[in-house]
Structure 1
């Protein structure tokens, strides 16, 4: 069972990379590109909408939202773009992990959370 989960995790990562590369392709419609970037950023981000430590529903976003978003982007993207993106994802998945990119994503999420908190406090004080 553990091997199955590892295989599925690698597949999900590969699908996420495919969507990311499809979003960068100029042949992809702009709304699909935007949706693809949002889905890929959320899938690769260490921060979830629902924290994973919350029993049962903590993993629902990972188990439902990400695959649904990926499937929607793949369905809306032209087939030739998806094939090209899959080839790029296959090539990229053999490269080493980028810790600087992970740090960048974490910093961006922290800034967004800080700005949201600041905005929320300004509404409470008003």
Structure 2
């Protein structure tokens, strides 16, 4: 019975998290939001909607750590920076968007691929220099 209750709480938390992500998605276009809050919201939304993670999920522990820690912390920070009235106005709109499925941010996905390619080239050069 305890596992059922914990699972229900986790599902509820995940649903709330997704809804808040869509609230951020709608809020960063609002004129009442400061530029700093917009930058934080855009970064969080872009990362969360990216089809590719900065740390791929197949890497043990670290792969899911960004999804479990960084995204919720980013959402929390961004929501604290946005005026409450803006958040309240965008909750109903966010629920409708959430039902239709999350949008994909392919630009950020390609950016992460580029970062991994640069990282691979750098590691390759280090290995090459080490053995020569």
Give the TM-score, by structure 2 length. 0.72
Residue correspondence of structure 1 range 1-126 to structure 2 within 5 A: 1=4, 4-94=9-99, 96-97=100-101, 101-102=103-104, 105-106=105-106, 108-113=107-112, 116=115, 117=117
Q: Secondary structure at the match of 2:28?
A: helix
Report the alpha carbon displacement of residue 92 of structure 1 after superposing the two structures with TM: 2.1
Contact 2:52-2:112 at 8 Å conserved across structures: no
Contact 2:41-2:75 at 8 Å conserved across structures: yes
Give the TM-score, by structure 1 length. 0.75
Give the superposed CA RMSD. Answer: 2.6
Contact 2:23-2:90 at 8 Å conserved across structures: yes
Deviations 1:63-114 (A, max 9, x none): 11111111111111111111112222123223x237xx43xx23x2454256
Question: Relative to structure 1, is the Cα distance of residues 12 and 114 closer, same or farther in structure 2, using a 3 angstrom cutoff?
Answer: closer
**Which segment is superposed worse, 2-11 or 35-44?**
2-11
Distance 2:113 2:62 in 1: 25
Q: Secondary structure at the match of 2:33?
A: coil
Structure 1, gaps ≥5 residues long: none
Distance 2:83 2:96 in 1: 20
